[in-house]
Amino acid sequence: MNNMEKQTFLTFLLGKEFFAVNVKMVLEVLEKQNITKVPKTPEHILGIINFRGEILPVTDTRLKFNLPPHNLDDKNYVIVYDLSTENNKYVIAATADAVKDVIEIAENEIKPVPEMGISYNTKFISGVVRRNNDFILLLDIEKIFSLSDIEAMESISISETSEQV
């Protein structure tokens, strides 16, 4: 990719921080979803939602980033991602406090992530972009949702589906 080529990103807020994900990985943005709690799930799994007839576990992105937990009474957004590993494709849902804009970012705008002062795992961040007075952290979604998360989510989906039959 040359420096003038642009990629399209969806920007959203977690707390006061701006984040962005490549729109190629976003299936849909859902507003004010009814999330059903599921017992005995990892702390960062808020529960499940029905998405196009499929049961999807919802990850609290705030917990993944060491931010205070999400308040389910607040207006929340769920971003549904389409991910793939070497062998499979997965659909994963994760929360956002607010969804902002779809923006284009040129490759030469993306700067490396500074190591200091960030309380979450910087391996989740592929770069940083400055827009106006804001810094936008570009997320590497496939690193955020590790294989263990995907397997935990699959087991929730499987156990929930079998209990409903």
pTM of the model: 0.81
Amino acid (one-letter) located at 143? K
Q: Which residues pair with 94 in a beta bridge?
A: 59, 79
Q: Which of 82, 36, 28, 59 is nearest to 153 (CA)?
A: 59
pLDDT tens-digit series, residues 113-135: 876 655 556 678 889 999 988 89
Mean pLDDT of the chain, nearest integer: 81
pLDDT tens-digit series, residues 67-119: 777 666 666 799 999 987 777 788 889 999 999 999 999 999 999 887 665 55
Q: Measure the CA–CA gap between 40 and 124, rounded to whole angstroms.
A: 26
Q: Are strands 89-96 and 54-59 parallel, antiparallel or unpaired?
A: parallel
* DSSP per-residue string spanning 72-123: TTS--EEEEEEEE-SS-EEEEEEEESEEEEEEEEEGGG-BPPPSTT--S-GG
Domain extent listing, the chain = 6-164
Any idea which architecture 6-164 has in CATH?
Beta Barrel (2.40)
